[in-house]
A and B are shown apart, each in its own frame.
Chain A
Amino acid sequence: MRLANYQTDGFYDEMFDESGIPRPRADALAKRLTALSDGELVRRQKAADLTLLNMGITFAVYGHEAGTEKVWPFDIVPRIVDGTEFDTIQRGLRQRIFALNLFIDDVYNEQRILKDGIVPFELVFSASCYLEQCVGLKPPGGVWCHVVGTDLVRDGDGKFYVLEDNLRCPSGVSYVIENREVMKRTFPQIFGGLRIQPVEDYPERLLETLQHVAPPNTQSPNVVVLTPGIYNSAYFEHSFLAQQMGVELVEGSDLVISDGYVCMRTTRGLQRVDVIYRRIDDTFLDPKCFRPDSTLGVPGLMEVYRKGRVTLANAPGTGVADDKAIYAYVPRIIKYYLGEDPILNNVPTHICSEQDDLQYVLRNLSKLVIKPTNESGGYGIVIGPRATAEELAKCADQIRANPRNYIAQPMLALSRVPTIVDDHLEGRHVDLRPYMLYGKDIFVLPGGLTRVALRKGSLIVNSSQGGGSKDTWVLA
């Protein structure tokens, strides 16, 4: 197929440089694509779509009819990351997660960083994910965020920036593994001779991590995955990870507190549970401790947890550190705990709760991207340059009414990757979410979820809003 007509349109393209020459890391792939006969790529794409349908790789979209499953949108042209570049990403992420974990532990215990005036008390206590029920908790090994998925983007300058830390229940890693599987099934030729780092050992690593953080002195810990159930948008992932690890996938109603321990109801009576990889939100975990109306959790769970008789991964309360206003302080947090400069940069961020920033944001609304501090999934974002005057006015009112709820960032020119549109390739914007596991030490999966905004010009990559994904190749 011909790649000659492909346009980078002035954006950083992951495959081609500004003069249209394949970047060294993508050279072999570009040659293979060029060698394909007309229509072959589209045929492979269709085969991949069918494979995804048959494998039942789906996600549920909220706001649609209950139980609506959509097939995971997948584009077969992979995104390639150079090995050396990924090494830097890995080091940066390790540093960041290590510091953020110290921060969480500090916030709920000594509060040194607050007392030293590095991060304002007010900002921490007003974070919607700060949980005072977690004050004084000491999780095994001091690890709070066992599973992390950090969103990175590459800006027009070719550098990676951290867009968001996801320290609660990041999802998507199952798609990293399944995307690779689908590529291997439907497009094996494309791999030939390239040294791509494997991602398939993630479930093994996850199990190792979860077993490692079991309560002390637990012989062969019993690990389970706790899901809200089949109508959750990430249900596929919950079942996938449980299956791949060979552990039980439980719902809240399968668990019960008995004699001071968490047990699951089995056909042979109650069986003790030591580690819960929970994929339900903090406040739903235990109706006796958090939201009394939660039917997804286990009454009394937090009491058992506090006594150290069960491990929750991730620990409750970690959301305080991925609050979007706290985000702006991460470089200072890293410096404070580690005495190091951050290896990965933050996107410059204006915190609307700070007077100077607020005035700047309100004056420059049409140039900025405005984000609510307590939403995820791309909801509630206003992209200034693309908003109508009316939308901007409404946004300004909302910011004035509750400045703590908003941050603003400059508009980024997200990098693009060639993506199949009808019968040819066009550039589409992408981000990158690598996955980390924090148990004995910090492991960064060499790969990640590349989410792609399938609509022309769109910057919103979330699958709930018209995003798709690509296999991500980190070269050895």
Chain B
Amino acid sequence: MLSRVADSVFWLSRYVERAENVARFLDVNMHMTLDLGDSVSQQWEPLVATTGDNEVFAERHGRANRDSVWQFLTFDHKNPNSIVSCLYSARENARTIRGSLPSEVWEELNKFYLFVRGADVPNALENTTQFLGEVKRYSQLLVGIMESLMSRNEAWHFSRMGRNLERADKTSRILDVKYFILLPTTSEVGTPLDVIQWSALLKSASALEMYRRVRGRIAPEHVVGFLMLDRDFPRSVRYCLSRAEESLRAVTGSSEGTYQLKAEKLLGRLRSDFEFTQSSDIIQAGLHEFIDHFQLCLNEVDAAIFNSFFATQPVANGGEQSQSSSTAE
């Protein structure tokens, strides 16, 4: 397939996934603040940190509170990672490759964008759950349509690769929130507050129910293990890396355990790291440090994928990525 089309289909899926995850972050935070009352009104700050856009936020809104963070993450056109910006980018990517997508994908994505762009902002702020629920629903609808209508060709694999890499990134960031705010004093470990916070993390990845079936009670180490290392949960980092790698190999034709491209080497190594890591290793390394390192590795994978497939001509600015990866440092 055309390199440009591969690039666009990859990013189209990434942006939709990103929009869904922002909705997840917001939704769970709304619930948490309701549960916890005024004592955690500073709860909004880490949400911005999670998306990695602290600087843009500070510049545009100053202090973080419910309204400013909500505005920033949903309808702010100047924030490249707001829901509306993600959908704008997803739609622009889809528009350039409309010919390569099933009509239904374009049509639902177009409706998705029009829904967010045309949303009545005060009303959405009043009925957050409903609005965010719609965002998630549309995103999942799109994944479902692609799943059931697209041939398992390169376009589909690039799309799946994009979605899973984005999801791996976002799930790790959900956990990182713990570093920014939730770390309770040791005396608070195991209190209802602590349990609520860890549960909230699981909820934002829609992982609470699946977690319960595997692990039962809430324990920080198990939550970390579940979201990072679970083999079967479709939003866990390890699961996402495995699927992304599968699709990468489907594109290149490399057999398991071998590689031809740098991207395959890096992603394969990262995936196998996760297969041979236990949650106690993560806690020992420090959760934040571990996640930080993981995101560096993920950025390298992104860059390698770009160089292998999308950068078909020398780019004037030294081969820098044309579309924005998540803006984490």
Interface residues of A (CB under 8 A from B): 53-56, 225, 229-230, 235-236, 238-243, 247-251, 253-254, 264-267
Contact = CB atoms under 8 A, between A and B. Distances in A.
B100 A243 contact: yes
B313 to A, nearest CB: 7
B100 A251 contact: no
B145 to A, nearest CB: 14
Nearest to B97: A249
A334 to B, nearest CB: 37
Contact of A266 (B2, B92, B103): B2
B2 A230 contact: no
B214 interface: no
Contact of B111 (A54, A240, A241): A54
A239 B96 CA distance: 8
B96 A230 contact: yes
Given A54-B107, A54-B111, A230-B92, A267 B3 contact: yes
7 contacts: A54-B107, A54-B110, A56-B107, A236-B98, A239-B98, A243-B103, A249-B100
B124 to A, nearest CB: 20
B95 A230 contact: yes
B195 to A, nearest CB: 44
A240 B6 contact: no
Contacts of B4: 251, 253-254, 265
B99 interface: yes
B100 A248 contact: yes
A44 B8 CA distance: 36
Contacts of A267: 1-3, 6, 154, 251, 309
Nearest to B310: A267
Contacts of A235: 95
Contacts of A54: 107, 110-111, 114
A229 B251 CA distance: 26
Nearest to B155: A267
A251 B99 CA distance: 12
Contacts, number: 66
Contacts of A55: 103, 107, 110
A58 to B, nearest CB: 9
B5 interface: yes
The 3 tightest CB contacts between A and B, nearest first, are A242-B99, A239-B98, A249-B99
Contacts of B98: 236, 239-240, 243, 249
B106 interface: yes
A225 B99 contact: yes
B159 to A, nearest CB: 13
A54 B98 CA distance: 14
B156 to A, nearest CB: 13
A243 B107 CA distance: 14
A245 B100 CA distance: 10
Contacts of A225: 99
A251 B312 CA distance: 13
Contacts of B154: 267
A402 to B, nearest CB: 40
Contacts of B3: 254, 265-267
A248 B6 contact: no
Interface string B102-126: 0100110011001000000000000
B95 A266 contact: no
B110 A56 contact: yes
A210 B99 CA distance: 17
Contact of A239 (B1, B92, B99, B107): B99
Interface in B154-174: 154
Contacts of A265: 2-4, 312-313
